[in-house]
């Protein structure tokens, strides 16, 4: 089958307990090393490509370069950078006296000039996807998941105009209904989560064939394992509401002919790296996708979101041979994709990078070097 594509990947999230851990727990130098461990793990899990959903400082761009130069192992990356959020929005909840600015993770903006300035900084960083925070989230009690205006329409519009001018793509954390509409009207290229859609959202989404990445296993993991990690009950209740809304919306989008990418927002203590394929199982067992629909979302659609459908995402002559060879029939047992011990080979560009045959591949590699 085609190699898997993680459509909402956070290489720099080192199984954190809260978002501010990214900025205060370790220096970026150490986070970069942890990120390289995460990319290697993702490849071993059968993910030959990944689209970032945001990262600390500019780590993604350099991870991507190190992977392309074969210095470290990992999925082919589509890089994001620091994310964009308005002051007082989802990513800006620490009061001033705590002196936690979150500078590594987000640009905190006030108005359209700040929005343009942030995007221009990202242009210079060399990223591909601008990640923004138009709406709230259950994880943040102050800006719950129905909260719309974490960013104004004018700010979102300024982000899109500036980004598109430099050929960057824009996506955003969109849960609340009005926020989803604002993002689509502003010209977003992808919607993350798309939790509470209505008829108008669906029409806007389908009109431009904008893909949506629900990233639902994070919500399920938050409900299942939240108590063990000390999440307050009110937050867990919010995640349950998000989960229910997200399931209904994802199914609606797919059945209406829309595109769904699969990625699970991994990198939190209760939703750690390595569990990536749980998202695929979840979409089959809890959302109601057929195994082949879920696999197509996790391969072909992921490649399309990355803008690389000509290179990978399907098994076709002329593509890069990013392949996953599984011992078993994933169409009859989707959970096989969660079990790395069943992977015979994970190939990138026709080269075996992980799986049971890795040792053999190294022998071949040596044989080639020896002529």
Question: Which positions lie near Zn ion, rule CB under 5 A?
Answer: 53, 265
Tell me how far, at minimum, the Cβ of 267 lies from Zn ion, in Å: 8
Decide whether 8 or 319 has the Cβ nearer to Zn ion: 8
Tell me how far, at minimum, the Cβ of 263 lies from Zn ion, in Å: 8
Decide whether 91 or 280 has the Cβ nearer to Zn ion: 91
H or E element at residue 347? strand 343-348
Q: Is 202 helix (H, G, I), strand (E, B) or coil?
A: helix
Nearest Cα residue to 134 out of 203, 77, 195: 195
**How large is the C-alpha radius of gyration of the chain?**
20
Please return the burial class of 145, using the count of CB atoms within 10 Å of its CB with bins 0-12, 13-18 and 19+.
Answer: buried
Decide whether 53 or 211 has the Cβ nearer to Zn ion: 53
Angle at 69 between CA 63 and CA 74, to 5 degrees: 50
27 CB-near residues (< 8 Å, 6+ apart): none
Q: Is 90 helix (H, G, I), strand (E, B) or coil?
A: coil
Angle at 323 between CA 331 and CA 279, to 5 degrees: 50
Instruction: With beta carbons less than 8 A apart as the criterion, state whether 118 and 112 touch.
Output: no
Decide whether 2 or 214 has the Cβ nearer to Zn ion: 214
**Is the torsion defined by CA of 13, 313, 67, 281 positive or negative?**
positive
Q: Give the integer Cα–Cα distance in Å for 200 and 185.
A: 11
Tell me how far, at minimum, the Cβ of 10 lies from Zn ion, in Å: 6
The residue sitting closest to Zn ion, measured at its beta carbon, is 53
Tell me how far, at minimum, the Cβ of 71 lies from Zn ion, in Å: 26
Decide whether 44 or 265 has the Cβ nearer to Zn ion: 265
Decide whether 197 or 213 has the Cβ nearer to Zn ion: 213
Token pair for residue 195?
């939790």
63 CB-near residues (< 8 Å, 6+ apart): 11, 32, 35, 36, 39, 72, 74, 77, 79
Instruction: With beta carbons less than 8 A apart as the criterion, state whether 87 and 142 touch.
Output: no
Torsional class of 355: left (φ above 0), alpha (ψ -120 to 50), beta (otherwise)? left
Tell me how far, at minimum, the Cβ of 336 lies from Zn ion, in Å: 26
Decide whether 53 or 136 has the Cβ nearer to Zn ion: 53
Tell me how far, at minimum, the Cβ of 218 lies from Zn ion, in Å: 8
Tell me how far, at minimum, the Cβ of 357 lies from Zn ion, in Å: 33
Calculate the alpha carbon distances from 10 to 160, 215, 260, 268, 352 in Å: 22, 12, 18, 10, 24
Token pair for residue 339?
């079990």
Decide whether 73 or 90 has the Cβ nearer to Zn ion: 90
Tell me how far, at minimum, the Cβ of 54 lies from Zn ion, in Å: 6
Q: Give the integer Cα–Cα distance in Å for 105 and 244.
A: 29
Decide whether 53 or 291 has the Cβ nearer to Zn ion: 53
Considering all CA atoms of the chain, what is the largest pairwise distance in Å, rounded to the nearest integer? 64
Tell me how far, at minimum, the Cβ of 128 lies from Zn ion, in Å: 16
Q: Give the integer Cα–Cα distance in Å for 184 and 82.
A: 21
Tell me how far, at minimum, the Cβ of 59 lies from Zn ion, in Å: 15
Decide whether 159 or 330 has the Cβ nearer to Zn ion: 159
């Amino acid at each position: 089958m085609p190699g898997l594509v993680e459509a909402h990947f956070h290489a720099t999230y080192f199984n954190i307990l809260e978002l501010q851990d990214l900025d205060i727990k370790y220096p970026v130098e150490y986070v970069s090393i942890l990120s390289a461990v995460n990319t290697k793990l993702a490849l071993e899990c059968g993910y030959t490509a990944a689209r970032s959903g945001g990262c600390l400082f500019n780590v993604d761009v350099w991870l991507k370069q190190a992977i392309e130069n074969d210095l470290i192992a990992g999925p082919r990356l589509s890089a994001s950078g620091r994310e964009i959020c308005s002051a007082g929005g989802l990513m800006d909840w620490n009061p001033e006296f705590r002196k936690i600015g979150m500078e590594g993770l987000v640009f905190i903006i006030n108005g359209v000039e700040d929005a343009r300035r942030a995007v221009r900084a990202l242009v210079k960083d060399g990223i591909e996807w601008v990640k923004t925070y138009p709406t709230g989230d259950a994880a943040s009690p102050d800006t719950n998941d129905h909260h719309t205006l974490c960013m104004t329409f004018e700010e979102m519009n300024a982000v899109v105009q500036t980004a598109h001018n430099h050929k960057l793509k824009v996506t955003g954390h969109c849960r609340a209904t009005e926020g989803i509409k604002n993002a689509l009207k502003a010209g977003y290229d992808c919607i993350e989560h798309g939790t509470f859609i209505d008829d108008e959202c669906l029409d806007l989404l389908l009109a431009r064939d904008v893909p949506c990445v629900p990233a639902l296993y994070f919500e399920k993991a938050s409900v299942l394992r939240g108590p063990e990690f000390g999440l307050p009950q009110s937050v867990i209740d919010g995640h349950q509401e998000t989960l229910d809304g997200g399931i209904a919306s994802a199914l609606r989008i797919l059945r209406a002919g829309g595109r769904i990418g699969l990625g699970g927002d991994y990198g939190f203590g209760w939703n750690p790296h390595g569990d990536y394929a749980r998202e695929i199982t979840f979409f089959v067992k809890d959302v109601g996708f057929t195994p082949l629909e879920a696999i197509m979302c996790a391969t072909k659609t992921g490649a399309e979101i990355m803008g690389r459908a000509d290179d990978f995402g399907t098994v076709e002559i002329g593509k890069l041979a990013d392949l996953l060879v599984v011992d078993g029939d994933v169409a009859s047992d989707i959970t096989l994709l969660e079990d790395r011990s069943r992977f015979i080979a994970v190939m990138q560009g026709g080269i075996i990078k992980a799986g049971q045959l890795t040792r053999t591949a190294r022998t071949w590699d040596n044989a080639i070097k020896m002529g």
